Amino acid sequence: MSKNEKMGLYPKPSSPCNCMNIRRASRAVSQFYDSVLEPGGITLNQFGMLNVINSMQSPGISELAGEFRIDRTTMNRNLKPLLEKELICQRQGSDARRREIVLTESGHSALQRGMELWLEAQKSLELYLGADELKQLKSTLSKLEALVP
């Protein structure tokens, strides 16, 4: 019996639809990361947004939406919980039409705590899949993402 079988982790039966398999796997991985990030008070989606906002240094809504491959309306909806938790704020950009998104002090703290938890999730996933399988998965996912430039 493998280590994963001892833990009750078995491969799930696949669907004949490739898209369905990818979506189910994506949801499972997201749920796993959400559970690991829960003690930090943020979700995987929120952690990702905080991380990207921090690395892009005051992006506008359009830039941020482009980075996540979503429309501006969805981006605004996704930012709302971060605004309500006061993890980010919006400020006027150099152009009057541009609103910049920046992390607050609380946002920086949440990102730092989230990073610690995220690293735990990363290590767990690597242990679960193994380094070689994880490397192959990253390559495959990159190839799939390139389907739509």
- The strand ranges marked E within 9-124 are 88-92, 99-103
This prediction's pTM? 0.83
pLDDT score, position 2: 55
1: pLDDT strictly greater than 60: no
Specify the DSSP element, H or E, that contains 115.
helix 105-129
Return all residues near 77 (Cβ < 8 A) that are at least 6 apart: none
Domain ranges of the chain: 30-145
The tokens for 90 are 């919006």
CB 25 within 8 A of CB 60: no
pLDDT score, position 97: 82
Q: Which amino acid is at 60?
A: G
pLDDT score, position 10: 64
Integer Cα distance of 56 and 67 in angstroms: 10
Specify the DSSP element, H or E, that contains 18.
helix 18-37
Q: What is the mean pLDDT of the chain?
A: 91
Return all residues near 121 (Cβ < 8 A) that are at least 6 apart: 32, 33, 36, 37
Q: Which CATH class is domain 30-145?
A: mainly alpha
Q: What is the mean pLDDT of residues 51-77?
A: 94
Integer Cα distance of 112 and 43 in angstroms: 14
pLDDT score, position 94: 80
pLDDT in tens, 71-124: 999 999 999 999 999 999 999 888 878 889 999 999 999 999 999 999 999 999
The tokens for 33 are 């990361």
